[in-house]
Structure 1
Amino acid sequence: YQPSVQNVSFELNKGEILGVAGLVGSKRTELLETIFGIAGHSEGEIILHGKKVENTDSRRAIKNGFALLTEERRSTGIFGQLDIKFNTIIANIDGYSKFGILDNKKMTEDTKWTIDSMKVKTPSQKTAIRSLSGGNQQKVIIGRWLLTNPEILLLDEPTRGIDVGAKYEIYQLIIDLANKGKGVIVVSSEMPELLGICDRILVMSNGKVAGVGEPDKLSQEDIMTMAAKYI
């Protein structure tokens, strides 16, 4: 058995945006899934505020303050036929349940907060999420995770398939989250994106860390050279 991610060790500071670069097959998605507890691991540990946390599955990871925005928004991020309200509250459903009864008023309030604070363009909470643009769908998903009050956000290709205007809104949301003290890890195949919004960039190559650097000291060529290191 050969683990897909090996000997990966790094730190994420409070309020930091850490980019993860690499070529297709560099196992960046697997890294985020391992941290979030949905990909198995045989060894290694996660330390948060000096204490070891066990993200044995996604529910435990959410409880420990982690959130994962998946790469394939349409297949694993949204429930397309269902409305914005359901898509907003689903990650925090336990928080709305008392004695088996859902608090509809709180769910409506939290959905309104998501639509307002994320600037989601929609006629109503009852609109099916599949009818929104890609950028607005992504904003709903980010709002969904913020309702779980995470400390660490794991964002896998957060602007994939989104128009240029909405991309900049997502960038601003990510920067705002870091400014509020959240730790953010961004996996992206767009190097200008990583160089533009990240405090540091970690480069992966074939499941290993090939290098780490600050954007003002790295060029796209440097990143490509590191990304090919273990191929």
Structure 2
Amino acid sequence: MITIDAIRVRDGERTPLDGVTMLLTANAVHGIAGEGRSTLLRTVYGLLKPESGHISAHGHPLRQRDMAYLEAEPHFWPGLTAGDYLDLVRRYTPGADPAPFLRRLPVTPDAEAAAMSPAEQKRLALVLALMRRKQVLLLDEPFRGLDIESVFVLQQLILQLGSEGRTLLVAADSLTPLDGICDDLYVLSDGGVRSRYEHYEFARAAREAGLAPGFPEK
């Protein structure tokens, strides 16, 4: 169980998270939509420090080393190829094998990562995150920029990872790719949790889309 307890995060004069509370069961896929979703994932990963509140796992602090985080917009250093990045993860993650993921999310190993198309950069970033075999995966806009086939492949991968006992937080700006893969859905608005839906309530979530600021598209 990951407990997000009354998290408040300030960004200059804005307060994108103001008292956000969630109880995220382990071994499940949790959809995150609405305003502040990226801020929430960055805070869970430890890139942002909350002004108040805390985040824990099973009653203990949630450690960054137990998580893998996918940025919404991946960034790569110039001069390094996709193969270089794959080798780096293999070096620091004993037993990491990119082959099962590359078969489903192909990239060109010899291509310079920084010069690849946005879609191929997203596939590479996904492979690098999944290779690390972390128990908790934070995926920020994982479907953005992908073609239809890759979206479907990623949906199947997320379902597989959830069934293997991982805990996934998947943030998206549309309900469509989340439907059918999430155990529940949290919608953020005005700094807090506006709504929570069980997996069987996505039809209701779609009906309510657009009724409040920050609600995602259908």
- The superposition leaves residues 165-221 of structure 1 with CA deviations (integer Å, 9 ceiling, x where unpaired) of 111111111111111111111111121112232110001002211010113223312
The amino acid across from 1:37 in the alignment is G
Residue in 1 aligned with 2:81?
83
Mapped partners of 1:70, 1:6: distance in 2: 22
Mapped partners of 1:90, 1:11: distance in 2: 34
Residue in 2 aligned with 1:224?
210
Unaligned stretches of 5+ residues in structure 1: 56-60, 97-105
Deviation at 1:136, TM superposition (A): 4.2
Residue in 2 aligned with 1:19?
31
Call closer, same or farther: CA 1:132–1:171 in 2, change over 3 Å: farther
SS in 2 for 1:29: helix
Matched, 1:6 2:18: yes
SS in 1 for 2:18: coil
Mapped partners of 1:228, 1:121: distance in 2: 33
Matched, 1:212 2:196: yes
Deviation at 1:37, TM superposition (A): 1.1
Call closer, same or farther: CA 1:180–1:226 in 2, change over 3 Å: farther
SS in 2 for 1:219: helix
Provide TM-score, normalisation by structure 2. Answer: 0.78
Residue in 2 aligned with 1:37?
46
Matched, 1:186 2:170: yes
- The superposition leaves residues 50-79 of structure 1 with CA deviations (integer Å, 9 ceiling, x where unpaired) of 3223x5xxxxx1x1x111111113xx3x33
Call closer, same or farther: CA 1:87–1:122 in 2, change over 3 Å: same
Once structures 1 and 2 are overlaid, which stretch shifts more, 127-136 or 218-227? Answer: 127-136
Which residues of 2 match residues 69-218 of structure 1 at below 5 A? 69-73=70-74, 76=75, 78-79=76-77, 81-90=79-88, 95=92, 110=96, 113-119=97-103, 120-122=105-107, 125-130=109-114, 134-217=118-201, 218=204
Number of residue pairs aligned between Structure 1 and Structure 2:
200
Point out the structure with the larger strand share.
2
Mapped partners of 2:106, 2:88: distance in 1: 20
Call closer, same or farther: CA 1:195–1:209 in 2, change over 3 Å: same
Call closer, same or farther: CA 1:16–1:223 in 2, change over 3 Å: farther
Mapped partners of 1:227, 1:181: distance in 2: 34
Call closer, same or farther: CA 1:180–1:133 in 2, change over 3 Å: farther
Mapped partners of 1:193, 1:203: distance in 2: 15
Provide TM-score, normalisation by structure 1. Answer: 0.74
The amino acid across from 2:205 in the alignment is S
Unaligned stretches of 5+ residues in structure 2: 1-9
Deviation at 1:5, TM superposition (A): 0.9
The amino acid across from 2:208 in the alignment is D
Mapped partners of 1:167, 1:81: distance in 2: 28
Matched, 1:50 2:62: no
SS in 1 for 2:17: coil
Kept in 1: contact 2:106–2:123 (CA 8 A): no
Mapped partners of 2:122, 2:137: distance in 1: 14
Call closer, same or farther: CA 1:224–1:195 in 2, change over 3 Å: farther
